[in-house]
Amino acid sequence: MYKGNRSERDISRIQTNVLLLPRAIKILRLMPFFQEESFYEKNGEIFKFWAFEAVVDGRRVKAIVRQKGQGKKHFWSVIPAWRKDRFGILNAKDRNLEKE
């Protein structure tokens, strides 16, 4: 709903994220391993992020999980996972990535 600086996201981006929520749930239920991991420190507290990426229902989607300090891990975001190749930027709906 909001960007990092707490300003509201564009309504089309919010709608996209809401439509992707069921796919994010599938990813997090079925994927045993993450594809990306990152962390940063702010005011002495460590924030960790894990990204789970998969093609679900013909669409490449990335689900993000966050952990603040030693707290519980929680769902953070879902985004369409774009992929760049020599022909431009693609998403799984543009071609069949499930066979790749």
Give CA–CA dist 48/87, Å, rounded: 33
Query: Model-level pTM greater than 0.95?
Result: no
- Is residue 84 a part of any domain in this protein? yes
For residue 44, tell me if it sits in a domain.
Answer: yes
Residue 4 is assigned to a structural domain of this protein: no
- Per residue in 16-49, pLDDT tens? 888 899 999 999 999 889 999 999 999 999 999 9
State pLDDT tens for residues 50-82.
Answer: 999 988 888 889 999 999 999 999 999 898 876
Query: Does residue 2 lie in a domain region?
Result: no
Is residue 36 included in any domain, yes or no?
A: yes
Sign of the CA dihedral with 85 first, then 90, 95, and 96 last: positive
Enclosing domain of residue 70: 11-99
Query: How many domains, in total, are found in the chain?
Result: 1
The H-or-E segment that residue 20 falls in is helix 11-30
Please indicate, yes or no, if residue 87 is contained in any of the structural domains.
Answer: yes
* Residue 62 near residue 81 (C-beta atoms within 8 A): yes
CA geometry: angle 6, 11, 14, nearest 5 deg: 70
